[in-house]
Structure 1
Amino acid sequence: MAVMEHHLHEASGARRHLPMEYRDVHQSLRILGFWLFLATDMLLFACLFATYLVLRTHTDGGPTPRELFDVPGFTAETFILLTSSFTGGLATLAMRNGKKGQLIGWLAVTMLLGLSFVALEAQEFVKDALEGATMQRSAFLSSFFTLVGTHGSHVSVGIVWMFLTLLQVLRRGITPITARKVFIVNLYWHFLDVVWVFIFTIVYLSGVVM
Structure 2
Amino acid sequence: MSETNATLGLNAGAPGADAGARYHLREHHPEHGTMLGFWIYLMSDCLIFASLFATYAVLGRNYAGGPSGAELFDLNLVAINTAFLLVSSITFGFAMISAQAKNLAKAQLWLGITGVLGVCFLALEIYEFYHLIHQGAGPSRSAFLTAFFSLVGTHGLHVLFGIVWLVVLMFQLGKHGLSVENLRRMACLSLFWHFLDVVWVFVFTFVYLMGVLP
Identity of aligned residues (%): 44
Query: Is 1:208 matched up with 2:212?
Result: yes
Pairing of 1:59-138 with structure 2 (within 5 A):
59-138=63-142
Q: What are the superposed Cα offsets for residues 45-102 of structure 1, whole Å, 9 maximum, x if unpaired? A: 0000000010011000111010010011100110000000000111111111111011
- Structure 2 gaps of 5+ residues are 1-14, 20-27
What residue in structure 2 maps to residue 52 of structure 1?
A: 56
Q: What are the superposed Cα offsets for residues 105-124 of structure 1, whole Å, 9 maximum, x if unpaired? A: 00000000000000000000
> What TM-score do you get using the length of structure 1 for normalisation?
0.87
Once the 2 structures are TM-superposed, how far is the Cα of residue 209 of structure 1 from its aligned partner? Answer: 2.4
> What TM-score do you get using the length of structure 2 for normalisation?
0.86
Would the aligned equivalents of 1:169 and 1:178 in 2 still touch at CA under 8 Å?
A: yes
Say how many residue pairs are matched: 189
Once the 2 structures are TM-superposed, how far is the Cα of residue 27 of structure 1 from its aligned partner? Answer: 5.0
Query: Is 1:157 matched up with 2:158?
Result: no
Runs of 4+, deviation exceeding 6 Å:
none
Once superposed, what is the RMSD of the aligned Cα atoms?
Answer: 1.5
Query: Is 1:146 matched up with 2:164?
Result: no
* Structure 1 letter corresponding to 2:194: H
In 1, Cα distance between equivalents of 2:98 and 2:71: 44
What residue in structure 2 maps to residue 28 of structure 1?
A: 32
Once the 2 structures are TM-superposed, how far is the Cα of residue 25 of structure 1 from its aligned partner? Answer: 6.5
Once the 2 structures are TM-superposed, how far is the Cα of residue 186 of structure 1 from its aligned partner? Answer: 1.3
- Choose 1 or 2 for highest CA Rg: 2
Would the aligned equivalents of 1:27 and 1:177 in 2 still touch at CA under 8 Å?
A: no
Once the 2 structures are TM-superposed, how far is the Cα of residue 133 of structure 1 from its aligned partner? Answer: 0.2
Once the 2 structures are TM-superposed, how far is the Cα of residue 29 of structure 1 from its aligned partner? Answer: 1.1
Once the 2 structures are TM-superposed, how far is the Cα of residue 176 of structure 1 from its aligned partner? Answer: 0.6
What residue in structure 2 maps to residue 11 of structure 1?
A: none
In 2, Cα distance between equivalents of 1:82 and 1:72: 15
Q: 1:45 to 1:28 in 2, by over 3 A?
A: same
In 2, Cα distance between equivalents of 1:27 and 1:139: 47
Once the 2 structures are TM-superposed, how far is the Cα of residue 28 of structure 1 from its aligned partner? Answer: 1.8
In 1, Cα distance between equivalents of 2:37 and 2:117: 28
In 1, Cα distance between equivalents of 2:32 and 2:170: 20
* Structure 1 letter corresponding to 2:146: S
Q: What are the superposed Cα offsets for residues 182-209 of structure 1, whole Å, 9 maximum, x if unpaired? A: 1111110000000000000000001112
What residue in structure 2 maps to residue 38 of structure 1?
A: 42
Once the 2 structures are TM-superposed, how far is the Cα of residue 163 of structure 1 from its aligned partner? Answer: 0.5
- Structure 1 gaps of 5+ residues are 6-23
* Structure 1 letter corresponding to 2:185: K
Q: What are the superposed Cα offsets for residues 142-195 of structure 1, whole Å, 9 maximum, x if unpaired? A: 000000000000000000000000100010000110000011111100000000
In 2, Cα distance between equivalents of 1:66 and 1:44: 26
